[in-house]
Amino acid sequence: MPAPFVHQLRVRYGECDPQGIVFNANYLAYFDVAFTELWRAGVGPWQEMLGHGVDAVVAEAGLEFRAPARFDDVLELSVRVTRLGQSSITTEIDILRDGELLIAGRLRHVCVAAPIAAGAKASAVPWPAAIRAGLEPYVVAGR
């Protein structure tokens, strides 16, 4: 089974509440960073996806809070692709500090035709073969 993709980041002061604890909404921003870096490693820069005539949009997100991250912590974001469907991808993302699980999360992105016009309803389309091939090495079994 392939190892998860891991990206590190340091908690910045502005991401914390007055008690020095990461404000809960920022964990979704961390998930976005981790997913974008997984994408860069497997597929290339996000903008290249648009050259294939598609984009990926978040359809579902979930977080389970176990312990807080704090200002200046170095976090490891461990990303596993648990499902690569015809037109969607599900990732599980764990946020760890020194091996301690702080946040367990899940994202589901859907592949849509690009560009998406303002106010238009996006509809799912299949992943192009090149994108699928880049993501397949990161597919692992889910929790």
Query: What is the pTM (predicted TM-score) of this model?
Result: 0.91
Task: Quickly count: other Cβ atoms within 10 Å of residue 1's Cβ.
Answer: 7
Domain spanning 5-132 has what CATH number?
A: 3.10.129.10
Residue 116, CB-side half-sphere exposure with 13 Å CA sphere:
15
Contacting residues for 35 by C-beta, under 8 A, at least 6 apart: 79, 91, 93, 107, 109
> For each of the chain's 143 residues, which pLDDT tens digit applies?
678 899 999 999 999 999 999 999 999 999 999 999 999 999 999 988 888 889 999 999 999 999 999 999 999 999 999 999 999 999 999 999 999 999 999 999 999 998 776 777 778 999 999 999 999 999 996 55
Instruction: Provide the 8-state DSSP code for 86.
Output: S
Q: Using an 8 Å Cβ cutoff, are 68 and 21 in contact?
A: yes
For residue 55, the one-letter residue type is D
Domain ranges of the chain: 5-132
Tokens of 130: 């090149």
